[in-house]
Amino acid sequence: MTIYIACDHLGIDLKKEIKLHLIENGLDVREIDLENSELDDYPDFAFKLGKKVASGDNSLGILICGNGIGMSIAANKVKGIRCVRAVNTDDASKGKQHNGANVIAIGANIDTELAKEIVDTFITTKSPNIERYIRRTNKVINYENGEYNEL
């Protein structure tokens, strides 16, 4: 499995810590190849990472910005992405297990050790495997594809 990671200028330090942590745990981590500067814009990173994850290679994504909200909103505009903003491990696990999230967005101001726990939880949590979670996730996917039949 490949893990893509990107951040805006506010998340550079946390991204470095998380990337090192994941590599030390034997994961294939790839940074999005956009340069950070004080003038960078989070949507550029979210869109580029989203396209990589949505390409269908069974990958996951990690986005970091000031508080994770902007990245989450932008990433969710990419077809095939279900991004959850997580501030704790419960958000990470339920976002993936209940909602089929394939990208996680976290805030740059979060404690480094907590961020690592959130990311680890996200990566190790299984995708939806209970019928009602699968059904709900499929409704979101179908809506995105223009195939949803409203009740």
- Residues assigned a catalytic role: 65, 98
Going 85 to 77 to 28 to 99, the CA torsion angle's sign is positive
Distance CA 121, CA 48 (A): 24
Distance CA(101)–CA(85), nearest Å, equals 10
CA 57, 60, 65, 68 torsion-angle sign: positive
Look at residue 2 and give its three-state secondary structure.
strand
Contact 83, 109 (CB under 8 A): no
Contact call for residues 15 and 21 (beta carbons, < 8 A): no
